[in-house]
Amino acid sequence: DSGVTQTPKHLITATGQRVTLRCSPRSGDLSVYWYQQSLDQGLQFLIQYYNGEERAKGNILERFSAQQFPDLHSELNLSSLELGDSALYFCASSVAGGVHTDTQYFGPGTRLTVL
């Protein structure tokens, strides 16, 4: 158990819908990262928050957004869903925000299926 929790574990929805994925980081970790794992794109970095503020953006679509709340949990919002958004979404956390030696601890993931 990494100490990072993600809910829900599975999500099945229809095209055009909007969903929210939730992540709680390990106790004491200030940074949260979101990654998408799909068969064709592999594991890709989406976005990072550090202590409530956006720190870095990766290959995140404009239909996707995220935020980190004062209690440090984070939510990833996916809207106008398309079939191609079906993937496993991971959240990871680390102590600091821009230190490359930091270890990121991953949650179990949310599997999103768009029908």
Partner 1 sequence: GNSVTQMEGPVTLSEEAFLTINCTYTATGYPSLFWYVQYPGEGLQLLLKATKADDKGSNKGFEATYRKETTSFHLEKGSVQVSDSAVYFCALSDGGSSNTGKLIFGQGTTLQVKP
Binding site for partner 1 (CB under 8 A): 2, 31, 33, 35, 42-45, 48, 55-56, 58, 90, 92, 94, 96-109
Is 14 or 39 the residue whose CB approaches partner 1 more closely?
A: 39
DSSP codes joined into one string, 27-91 = TT--EEEEEEEETTTEEEEEEEEETTEEEEE-S--TTEEEEE-TTS-EEEEE-S--GGG-EEEEE
Cβ neighbours of residue 27 under 8 Å, at least 6 residues apart? 3
CB of 26 to partner 1, least distance (A): 12
Is 54 or 82 the residue whose CB approaches partner 1 more closely?
A: 54
CB of 29 to partner 1, least distance (A): 11
CB of 16 to partner 1, least distance (A): 29
